[in-house]
Structure 1
Amino acid sequence: MRLTPLLIALSLSLPSLSAHAAQKPTRIPDAALATAAQLREQALADDTGWKVVESLTTEIGPRLAGSDADARAVAWATAKFKALGFDKVWTEPVTFPKWERRSEHASVLGTHPQPLTVTALGGSPGGTVEAEIVRFADLAALEAAPEGSLAGKIAFVDYQMKADRSGSDYRNGGAIRSRGPSAAIRKGAIGYLMRSAGTDNHRVAHTGITRFDDGLTPVPSASLTIPDADQLARLLARGPVKVRMALDCGWDGEATSYNVIGEITGRSLPKEVVVIGGHLDSWDLGTGAIDDGAGVALTMAAGHLIGQLKQAPKRTIRVVAFANEEQGLYGGRAYAEKHAADVRLHQIGAESDFGAGRIYAFNTSAPDYARDATRQIAEALAPLGIEYQADKGGPGPDISPFAAQGLAWGWLAQDGSDYFNLHHTADDTLDKIDPKALAQNVAAYTVFAYLAAEAEGGFGSEPRQVRPPQE
C-alpha cells in the first residue's frame, strides 16, 4: 500500500475551465437516492464482505506476487466473482520481475551476542554481511553522512514512525525503506538495516519493496522489529556493535499474474463503467487480510449487492482485483495502459487499500459542474458517520496511474490509526478485521458506486496528462 501526497491529489482534481465551462450540471435522481438508502441498510446487515475475506485468507493465505499462491488467488478470484453473480468475468495479464524470499537471519556478535528478528526488504539481494553498524536518526542524517564514511559497515536508520488516522507519516517511513539502501550504498555501506516502517511495539518486522538506483550494486537490506531496533540503540550506547546478517532472497526471472475483473452490466449505458477494487497480491509474512484482502472483499461485496437489485444500475459496475500492487503498482499500470483510450467511458474510480477501519471522510475529483452530485453522494454516506471533506483526498494506489491520464477519482478515507501496527507483517491476519467496520466499508462503497453509476452526467473523466502520484 502507498499514500498519495495531498498536493498531487489536489492537482488531479483541478478541471480545465475551457473543457467544463459549458457542461450541464451532474445530478443524481431522487429515485436512485432512495434505492441507495435501502442498499446502505442492507449492506450494514450483510456479511458477504466478511465471508469473502475469510475465504481468501483461509483458502489461499499469503499471496506474494508471482508465487504459486498468487496463481491460486487468481483462480479463486475468478471463481468468487462468478459465485457472487457478476455477469461478466475475465482476466488481463500483468508481467513483472519475480522476487523470492527463502530465509533470513541476523545476530549481534561480540560482547553481547544475541539474535535479532529481521525480514528482508522486497527487492533485496541475498548475501551474508558481517560488520559494525552505524546508526542514523533518519534518512536525512544518512544522506548527509560524508562520502565513504560507511565503507565496510552496515547502515542502520532508526526512525520511529508516528501513528495517526490518515497514516501521513508513512511518507517518511516508506522513503527510508525505498531510498535508504541506495543512500547507504553511496556512502560505502555493505549492508542496510532499518527500524520497521510501523507503529507497533511487537517483535514482528515489517517488509515492503525497496529500490536500488541505477548504477549501484545492491546490498543485503532488511528491516528490524521495533523492539530489536530499540535493543540495538541501547547496545550502541554501550559501545560499538557488530552484526551478522544472512539473507537468502532475490530476483528470479519474470512472472505473469492477472488483473481479475468482474462486472455487473449496466442497463442503459453498459459501456460506461464505475470502477472499484483492491489488490489481490500480498506480502508473504501474514495472510494479507488488511492489505489488501479487505479491499478485494468489500468491493466484491459492494458489486454483489448492487447486482442483486431488481433493476441494474444505469452504468456498469466493474470490480478489479489488481495484480502485484505491492512491488510497484504493476496491475494498476497495466490496467491504465490497456484502457487508456477509454478514459471517458470510465465514470469514476476508487480503490480500497488502507485496511478495514471505518471510513470517515469522502470526496471526489469532480469539477464544479459535478460538485452537487458529489454532495448528494456525501449526504447518502453521512448516516454511516462519513464526513464530506471537499478539499481532501486522492486516488487509491492502483487507480492513480489511470487518474494520471484523466480518470475521475473517489476518495473514501479509512481510519488507519492502527494500520501500521500490522502493515506488511506476520500479524496481518483475519482476526484483525472488525466485521462491523468491514460492513460499514461495504455499505459506503455500495452507495458510492451505485449513485455514481446512476448519475445524470459525469464526474470529469477526460483524456489529459497529470503528473502521477509518487509512491
Structure 2
Amino acid sequence: MGDKGVLGLKNKALGTGVALSVIAGLLATAAWADAGPATIPASALNSVKELQKRALAGSGAYEVVESLTTQVGPRLPGTPNDAAAVAWAVKAMKDMGLQDVHTEAVPMPGWRRGLERASIIAPMPQPVAVAALGASVGTGPEGIEAEVVRFASLADLKAAPDGSLTGKIAYIALPMARTQDGSGYGEAVAMRIAGPAAAAKKGAAAVIIRSVGTDAHRTPHTGMTRYEDGVAKIPAGAISTIDAGQLDRLLERGPVRMKLVLDVGPLDPITTYSVVGDLKGTEKPDEIVVMGAHLDSWDLGTGAIDDGAGVAIALASAKLIKGLPEKPKRTLRIVLFAAEEEGTYGAAAYGKAHAADAAHYVLGTEADLGIGPVWQFKLKSNANAEGAIAAMAATLKPLRVIQGADGEGESSDLGPMAEAGMPVAELSLDATTYFDIHHTADDTLDRIDRPTIDQSTAAYASVLWLAMQAGGTFRAPGAK
C-alpha cells in the first residue's frame, strides 16, 4: 500500500501530487443509461460457490507473488526492475489468456536512492537506522551535522516560532496507532507528507520522522513526501521506531547532535507503464468491471505485500473466473497501475486516457492493503444497488466477511474513475499487522500466508464475478 490520492485511507492523508480533484475535471462523464436495479441471476450465485471452493483449495495467488518478487524483485519506477516488472505482467496476462493486453505510458518525475546513513554523535556516538523519503533532496555525500529538535506532532512543528530551527534538524516523533482498518495511518502519515515543508518554513536544515509504522523493529519505513512551491526543499528521512525510542530518551536528558547523510535526489523525468488486460464478456463486452492493484513498489524490500499481494489477488481472481463453466457476461478488466507509491501517476494517466469511456464502468475494486484476510464488504447503497449488495454480502458470509456500514468504497488508483461516477466496492483487507512491514526491507515473500491470500482472492473473485453477471446498474437512478 502506497500513498493514495484524495480518496480512501491513504488518499485522505496524502493530498497527492497529482490532485485527483483536478483530474476529475478532465473526466467528461456521460449520463449512465438507467438500466434499472442491479439483479444477480441464480446461476451466478451457484457459480460463486464453486469459485470460492476452488480459491480456498489453492487460488494460485501465492505463486504469482513468488514469481513477481523472485524474478523481478523491487520495482521502483525508472529502474531496470520496473521495466522487467512491466514485461513480467504483460507475459503473465497473455499466458493466462487475457485479451487486448497492452501497456499505457505514465510520465512522472525520476528519483534515485543512494547512500543513507545517520548517527548520533553527541552525547554518545551510536548508529541510527534511517531511510530517505521518496522525492527527498539529498544532503550530498558529506552529509550535515546539527542539533536535533523534537516535536510530538506535525501540529507542534507548525506552531514553532519562525526561524527557531535555523541550522537544526527537526524531528517529528508521532507514533502510529495499530488498527484493523488501517485508520491510524491517516494521522501519522501527515507528518511524512507535510513535515519537510513545515520544517523548512521554520529554517530547519533537514527533517527526520519516526517511521510511519506499527512495528518494533530496527527497519525504517520509507514513503513519499511532498514539497511546496516557494518553500526551500530540505533533506527528509525516516528513522526506525526503535531508534526513535532511543532518540526520545536521549533528548529527555539533554541536547543531541546528529549526522545525517542522504545521498539521494531527483532525476530527469521518466516514463513508466501501467499494464492492462481484459477477460471479455460474451453478452455485454463494452460494460467493464475493473480490478486494480499497483505494479510498482518501494525499493527496500521486494514489494510482496505492497503490492505484490494485490497484483496476485487480481490475476488469480481473473484466472479463477476464466475457469468457470459459466461464461462471463460483462468484461473483467485487470489494471496493474504504475507509480502508485510516488503519487498515483498511473491512476491519473489512466483516468485521463479513459475519460470518454467512464460511463461504461459498471463497478470497480482494488487490492492494496496487504494479504488480508478480507473481513468487510462495503458498497454505497442506492435504489438500484440495494438488492445486489445484499446478495453479494450473503455470498461472502461463508468467508467470514461482514457487511460494513453504507458508504463509499475506498480507492486509490481507481480514484479518477470513482470521481467520474464509477461505483467502488471495498473489500477491506485486515491491516492489523500490515504496517509492521509496510515500506520496509521486510516486505518480502515470507510475509505471504497461503490460506490468508486464498481467502482474500475468494472474496474478490466473488464480488467481481457477481458484478460481471448482474443485470441492470449499480449507479443511483439518474446518476452521471
TM-score w.r.t. length of structure 1: 0.93
Alignment check: 8 A CA contact 2:93 2:277 kept:
yes
Mapped to 2, the partners of 1:260 and 1:391 lie a distance apart of: 32
- 1:272 maps to 287
Which residue is equivalent to 1:67?
A: 79
Shift of residue 20, structure 1, vs aligned partner: 9.2
Answer whether contact 1:405 1:463 (CA < 8 A) is retained. Answer: no
Q: Is the 8 A contact 2:8 2:410 kept in 1?
A: no
Within 2, Cα distance between the matches of 1:345 and 1:393?
19
| Counterparts in 2 of 1:451 and 1:119: CA distance versus 1, 3 Å | same
Asked whether the 8 Å contact 1:407–1:462 carries over to 2, the reply is no
Q: Alpha-carbon deviation of 1:205?
A: 0.1
1:398 to 388, 409, 413: 413
Local SS of the residue matching 1:408? coil
Deviation at 1:23, TM superposition (A): 5.9
Q: Which residue of 1 aligns with 2:18?
A: none
Is the aligned partner of 1:435 residue 2:450? yes
Q: In the alignment, is the contact (CA less than 8 A) between 1:406 and 1:463 conserved in 2?
A: no
Deviation at 1:108, TM superposition (A): 0.8
What is aligned with 2:17? Answer: none
The DSSP-based 3-state class of the residue aligned with 1:85 is coil
Match of 1:372 in 2: 387
Q: Residue 342 of structure 1 aligns to which amino acid in structure 2?
A: D
Q: Please tell me whether residue 298 in structure 1 is matched to residue 310 in structure 2.
A: no
Q: Aligned AA for 2:346?
A: G
Aligned match of 1:177: 192
Aligned partners of 2:166 and 2:202 also within 8 Å: yes
Q: Which residue of 2 aligns with 1:108?
A: 120
Alpha carbons 1:277, 1:300 under 8 Å: kept? no
The structure-2 alpha-carbon separation of the partners of 1:462 and 1:118, relative to structure 1 and needing over 3 Å to count, comes to farther
Is residue 77–residue 110 contact of structure 2 (8 Å, CA) maintained in 1? yes
Return the letter of the residue paired with 1:67.
T
Q: What corresponds to 1:145 in structure 2?
A: 160
C-alpha contact (below 8 Å) 1:39/1:305 kept by paired residues: yes
Partners of 1:216 and 1:464 lie apart in 2 by 42
Does 2:466 correspond to 1:451? yes
Deviation for aligned residue 1:22: 7.2
Q: Identify which of 29, 53, 57 aligns with 2:41.
A: 29
2:37–2:474 contact (8 Å) kept in structure 1: no
CA distance in 2, matches of 1:420, 1:321: 22
Gaps of 5+ in 2: 13-20, 22-30
For residue 209 of structure 2, the aligned residue among 179, 194, 215 is 194
Deviations 1:335-371 (A, max 9, x none): 1111111112111111100000200110113422111
Contact 1:135/1:156 (<8 A) preserved: yes
Deviations 1:70-93 (A, max 9, x none): 000000000011112213311111
Work out the percentage of aligned pairs sharing the same amino acid.
46
- The answer to whether 1:415 aligns with 2:425 is no
Deviations 1:356-409 (A, max 9, x none): 020011011342211111111111111101111142452321011221121111
Q: TM-score, normalised by structure 2?
A: 0.92
CA distance in 2: counterparts of 1:189 and 1:452, whole angstroms = 52
Shift of residue 40, structure 1, vs aligned partner: 1.1
Q: Distance in 2 between matches of 1:428 and 1:326?
A: 14
Distance 1:463 1:456, change over 3 A: closer
- Counterpart for residue 43 of structure 1: 55
Paired residues of 1:365 and 1:459 also in contact (CA < 8 A): no
Secondary structure at the aligned position of 1:237 is classed as helix
Q: Deviations over 1:155-187 (max 9, x none)?
A: 000011010101101111110100011100001
Write the letter of the residue equivalent to 1:410.
Answer: A
Given candidates 50, 55, 66, the residue that maps to 1:54 is 66
3-state SS of 1:106 partner: strand
Match of 1:468 in 2: none
The equivalent of 2:94 in structure 1 is: 82
SS of 2:263's partner is strand
Moved more, 40-49 or 162-171: 40-49
2:75, 2:116 → 1: CA distance?
A: 19
Query: Aligned pair in 2 of structure 1 residues 276, 21: CA closer, same or farther (>3 Å)?
Result: closer
For residues 127-138 of structure 1, the aligned pairs below 5 Å read: 127=139, 128-138=143-153
SS at match of 2:58: coil
Give yes or no for contact 1:132–1:154 (8 Å, CA) kept in 2: yes
Aligned counterpart for 1:236 among listed residues 251, 256, 259: 251
Give the structure 2 partner of residue 259 of structure 1.
274
Deviation sequence 1:12-44 (CA, Å, 0-9, x none): 9xxxxxx89976221101111111111111111
Q: Measure, in 2, the Cα distance between the counterparts of 1:462 and 1:178.
A: 39
* Residue 462 of structure 1: how far off its partner (Å): 9.9
From the superposition, tell whether residues 407 and 463 of structure 1 become closer, same or farther in structure 2 (CA, over 3 Å): farther
Would you say how many aligned residue pairs link Structure 1 and Structure 2? Answer: 456
Distance 1:461 1:304, change over 3 A: farther
